[in-house]
């Protein structure tokens, strides 16, 4: 009961800043949704109304068409191709300021560890860090396929003009799937999204760090440089 109340409050917060409602218009193939922070994927059907904290997944040869109604009532149709995972909360526009804030957060994630001189260290019991694993098998790595699905999802965001959330979500995916973060086309997408989101400086930074990737072909380098030159104009 309490949880529900809490969730209700959070939901009401969410709907204020997000899309009004999301309706599944059309479904083809395997399409499922995972609600909020639950672990279970459920199949959905056309006509279902989804919540912004849901996550949608389309399987092989699956696709879906969503109708997203914004705050002011205008609707947008979004098509999810196969093999994508999209957090519906990402289907929204961020202001440039909000994007900048989020990007700054990304960079300053260790802010909570800045100790001032006059702060006290609380004595603590011995802390055991790191991946202290007791299981003989070792921890399970994140499934790279899931990562690919998620990146496909960020591409959907890009194609539908949600550049901010595209860039942010891509960065999150790279954190969980470091290998994907070393791929040229994935990183390029982020840079392009930042450029489209009119964060020229951030885009340039991203292009710049692209050039440091291992195994770049000369064409890829040229492409990056060309993009950079374009931005600088």
Partner 1 sequence: MNPGFRILIILGMVMLGSATYGQSLIFPRAIGMGAYGSSVKDSRAFTANPAGLVNIRDWDFSTATYTGVSTTDRGFVFHGLTFGKRFLDREALAFQYAPGTSLTLTVPPTLSIGGSNTPVSNDREITYEEPFAIGFGHAFSGTLSVGILGRLQRQKVMDTQFEIMVRDTTVYPVTSKVSYEAHAWLGDAGISWNASERFVIAVVGRNLIRLGETLLPDAVAEYRLSPTTSVELSGAYIASADLRLVGGLATDASGALGCEWTPGYGLAFRGAVYGDQNETPFLYAVGLSAGWSYEFLEVDASYLRFTSQEGRSGVINAAEFDPRKITNIDLNPYSRDRISFSIRAMFGNVRESLARIESVEMYSAVYPSSFEVFAYRPIGKARVRNISAKPIQARASIFVEKFMDMPTESQAVTIPPGGVADIELNAVFNDRVKDVAAMTIRDASVYANATPAEVYDDRAPARITFRGKNDWDGSVESLRFFVQPDDPDVLRASRDMLLQSRDAKTGSGSEPDAFIRARTLINAFAGQLMYVSDPKQSADFVQYPAETLRLRGGDCDDMSVCFASLLSSIGISTAFVDVVPPGAPERSHIYLLFDTGLDPKFGASISDNPKRYVVRKNREGMETIWIPVETTVAARGFDEAWTGGAQRYFDDVEVGLGLAKRWVRIVDIN
Instruction: Determine, following the binding rule CB under 8 A, whether residue 39 of this chain makes contact with partner 1.
Output: yes
Residue selected from 32, 89, 205, 221 as contacting partner 1 according to rule CB under 8 A: 89
What is the full DSSP assignment across 3-48?
A: HHHHHHHHHHHHHHHS-SEEEEEEEESSEEEE-TT---EEE--TT-
Residue 188 tokens read as 């390029």
Query: Least distance from C-beta 41 to partner 1, angstroms?
Result: 9
Residue selected from 74, 119, 185, 214 as contacting partner 1 according to rule CB under 8 A: 119
Max Cα–Cα distance, the chain, nearest Å: 61
Instruction: Determine, following the binding rule CB under 8 A, whether residue 217 of this chain makes contact with partner 1.
Output: no
What is the C-alpha separation between 162 and 192, in angstroms, rounded? Answer: 12
Nearest to 31 by CA among 85, 77, 74: 85
Instruction: Determine, following the binding rule CB under 8 A, whether residue 37 of this chain makes contact with partner 1.
Output: yes
Query: Least distance from C-beta 154 to partner 1, angstroms?
Result: 14
Radius of gyration of the chain (CA): 20
Instruction: Determine, following the binding rule CB under 8 A, whether residue 183 of this chain makes contact with partner 1.
Output: no
Instruction: Determine, following the binding rule CB under 8 A, whether residue 175 of this chain makes contact with partner 1.
Output: yes
Instruction: Determine, following the binding rule CB under 8 A, whether residue 104 of this chain makes contact with partner 1.
Output: yes
Residue 5 tokens read as 């109340």
Residue selected from 60, 72, 109, 233 as contacting partner 1 according to rule CB under 8 A: 109
Query: Least distance from C-beta 49 to partner 1, angstroms?
Result: 18
What is the C-alpha separation between 204 and 192, in angstroms, rounded? Answer: 10
Residue 36 or 208 with smaller CB distance to partner 1 = 36
Residue 66 or 91 with smaller CB distance to partner 1 = 91
Nearest to 172 by CA among 92, 86, 96, 97: 86
Residue 170 tokens read as 């891509």
Q: What does the binding site for partner 1 look like in residue numbers (CB under 8 A)?
A: 2-3, 6-7, 9-11, 13-14, 17-18, 34, 36-39, 52-53, 55, 87, 89, 94, 98, 101-102, 104-105, 109-110, 112-113, 117-120, 122-135, 137-143, 146, 172, 175-178
């Amino acid at each position: 009961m309490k949880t529900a109340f809490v969730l209700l409050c959070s939901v009401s917060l969410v709907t204020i800043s997000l899309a009004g409602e999301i309706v599944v218009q059309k479904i083809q193939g395997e399409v499922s949704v995972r609600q909020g922070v639950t672990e279970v994927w459920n199949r959905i059907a056309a006509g279902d109304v989804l919540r912004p904290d849901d996550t949608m997944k389309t399987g092989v040869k699956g696709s879906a068409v969503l109708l997203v109604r914004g705050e002011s009532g205008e609707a947008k149709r979004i098509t999810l191709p196969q093999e994508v995972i999209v957090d519906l909360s990402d289907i929204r526009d961020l202001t440039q300021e909000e994007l900048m804030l989020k990007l700054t957060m990304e960079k300053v994630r260790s802010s909570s560890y800045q100790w001032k001189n006059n702060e006290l260290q609380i004595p603590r019991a011995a802390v055991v860090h790191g991946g202290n694993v007791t299981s003989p098998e070792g921890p399970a790595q994140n499934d790279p396929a899931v990562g690919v699905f998620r990146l496909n999802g960020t591409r959907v965001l890009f194609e539908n003009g949600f550049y901010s959330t595209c860039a942010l979500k891509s960065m999150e995916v790279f954190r969980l799937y470091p290998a994907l973060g070393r791929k040229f086309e994935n990183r390029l997408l982020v840079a392009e999204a930042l450029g489209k989101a009119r964060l020229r400086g951030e885009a340039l930074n991203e292009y710049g760090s692209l050039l440091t990737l291992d195994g770049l072909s000369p064409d890829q380098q040229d492409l990056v440089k060309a993009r950079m030159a374009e931005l600088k104009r």
